[in-house]
Homo-oligomer: A and B are copies of this chain.
């Protein structure tokens, strides 16, 4: 019998803690970009798998099929067509790089654009995955205030000016203009114009993350900034995770040639999974409209369910705007509630949510916020989970003042 071998002593210097063993999802799972199991187009994917494998399956013998490192040509063509039809974007398939989730697109952009010590601008409440990535890159992330119309351009101008006074030009502005994560706000067209002009004048690229732009059901879709004039400094990022399946790990980035060739050069992964790409390309080419319409019906009902549950169980203690699309709702609780602390008690009761500070460039102003994702739980689970969360919150913080309609 040999002694245990001590790997720990050999590890890299700056290694994070080990991941805990997987113990399954929470009973009431309001976190992550999970989607509705009933919304997975199982029969459509089966039909596409059969059709496309018979037509193109042999090309799986080569890395990246026959289409090179930018990804499957049919999938890129679908994206180019969809971007033109729905987002006002004129782009060719050659300008698109398929990535393993939009997270990989963000990783590649960060790799190409950032050095340690750089400064980046983001919305004050923003996607935790990107905030964490930026911190791992060792850059300063400066947050800009949001309001009901998403990013405040006047505040952005102030932030840019203050940075300029310090001699700092940010490397880029990271924004989620269409169903902003986590606030669910949509940047109006006029603000898009202002953001483009301001950033362009300052020589600052814009990373436009439109992961949720397919899931906007309550209002007109403002077109993508990448579709507007004077947007040559915009890198446009999107995903298949939110409107099809997060487990597929497919995303993309649309970038000018000088940037795209660099993104490809650092994408040192042998390509993104091609079987998935070919099945998805075949499915979406014929089914995008019907699929997304059906999914949005489901999501709107779940949005209504979570709004009703929040009103019922939190009453006036919970402030929020019913989101016009997407899969999450951003909830403000009274200032005495610390959602980081609430998180532990809620998890112990089987309720998982995202505490505000994790979704923010500065923790303090987000202390009493939380994000609830509503796509994955059923309407019944939404009702029961929000009731449970209100009960735990009442017990831990006295908010809401009554629980289960009984003042305690």
A406 interfacial by beta-carbon distance below 8 Å: no
| Tally of chain A residues near chain B (CB < 8 A) | 99
> Which segment of A157-165, A219-227, A267-275 sits at the interface?
A267-275
B245 touches A272 (CB 8 A): no
At the interface, yes or no: A168 with Cβ under 8 Å from chain B? Answer: no
Given contacts A58-B40, A232-B5, contact A115 B13 (CB under 8 A): yes
A192 to chain B, nearest CB (A): 15
- Given known pairs A49-B46, A259-B7, A270-B101, the reply for A69 and B34 (CB within 8 Å) is no
> Bound complex: CA of A272 vs CA of B247, how far in Å?
8
CA distance A40 to B278 in the complex (A): 15
- Chain-B contact segment, one of A59-67, A177-185, A328-336, A390-398: A59-67
Q: Which of B12, B94, B172 contacts A111 (CB 8 A)?
A: B12
Whether B249 pairs with A270 at a CB distance below 8 angstroms is yes
**Is B273 in contact with A7, judged by CB distance below 8 angstroms?**
no
Instruction: Decide: A12 and B113 in contact? CB cutoff 8 A.
Output: yes
Q: Which residues of A from 203 to 244 have beta carbons under 8 Å from B?
A: 203, 205, 229-230, 232-233, 241
**Closest Cβ of chain B: how far from A90's Cβ, in Å?**
15
CB distance A103 to B269 under 8 Å? yes
A205 with B5: CB separation less than 8 A: yes
Nearest CB of B to A378, in Å: 12
Residues from chain B with a CB closer than 8 A to the CB of A249 are: 100, 269-274
CB-CB under 8 A for A69 and B270, given A46-B53, A62-B246, A275-B247 = no
6 cross-chain pairs, A with B, having the tightest CB-CB distances, nearest first: A22-B68, A18-B261, A247-B274, A49-B49, A42-B57, A19-B264
